[in-house]
């Protein structure tokens, strides 16, 4: 699966986004090392706090299904689903990624024209991780 394939799946997922408050529709596609893909979209809430990002929906769906070995995630977003700039994962999602992935986990983003790849280690340096709680 190429980065472009994964971005296409993420872009398709923006159509499922529930974002009546921000109108910012996000899609994510998470690739496992065995080739399986889980997708997610952002789901907002009138109380704001319960809102979840597309990345976490993808991760939690994968974990729910027993997947653990993740390779890459593609993320795209934009107002009403129009992808015109890069959408990088928020801090909370970066920390959720860190729970299950190492520094080499790749985050793929696109502005609809160019595709960029950045390592989780560069997005969340000096992170707190499960290793810090290892006995």
Give me the active site residues, please. 55
Minimum separation from the CB atom of position 133 to ligand THU (A): 26
The closest of 106, 92, 87 to 57, measured between CA atoms, is 92
- Interface with ligand THU includes 109 (CB under 6 A)? no
- Interface with ligand THU includes 123 (CB under 6 A)? no
**CA 56/CA 62 separation, integer angstroms:** 10
Nearer to ligand THU, 59 or 131 (CB): 59
Backbone angles phi and psi of 72, in degrees to 5: -150, 155
The count of residues in the chain is 135
Interstrand relation of 37-41 and 70-79 (parallel, antiparallel or unpaired): unpaired
Task: Identify the residue among 11, 73, 76, 93 touching ligand THU (CB under 6 A).
Answer: 93
Per the structure block, which two tokens stand in for 68? Answer: 């653990």
- Interface with ligand THU includes 22 (CB under 6 A)? yes
Q: Name the residues that contact ligand THU, by CB under 6 A.
A: 19, 22, 24, 26, 42, 44, 51, 53-55, 75, 87, 89-90, 93
């Amino acid at each position: 699966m190429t980065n472009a394939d994964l971005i296409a799946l993420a872009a398709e997922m923006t159509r499922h986004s529930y974002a009546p408050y921000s109108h910012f529709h996000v899609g994510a596609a998470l690739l496992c090392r065995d080739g399986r893909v889980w997708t997610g979209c952002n789901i907002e809430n009138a109380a704001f706090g319960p809102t979840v990002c597309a990345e976490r929906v993808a991760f939690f769906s994968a974990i729910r299904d027993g997947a653990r070995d993740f390779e890459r995630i593609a993320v795209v977003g934009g107002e009403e689903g129009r992808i015109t700039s890069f959408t990088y994962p928020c801090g909370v999602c970066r920390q959720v990624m860190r729970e299950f992935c190492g520094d080499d986990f790749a985050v793929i983003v696109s502005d609809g024209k160019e595709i960029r790849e950045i390592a989780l280690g560069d997005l969340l340096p000096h992170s707190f991780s499960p290793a810090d709680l290892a006995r």
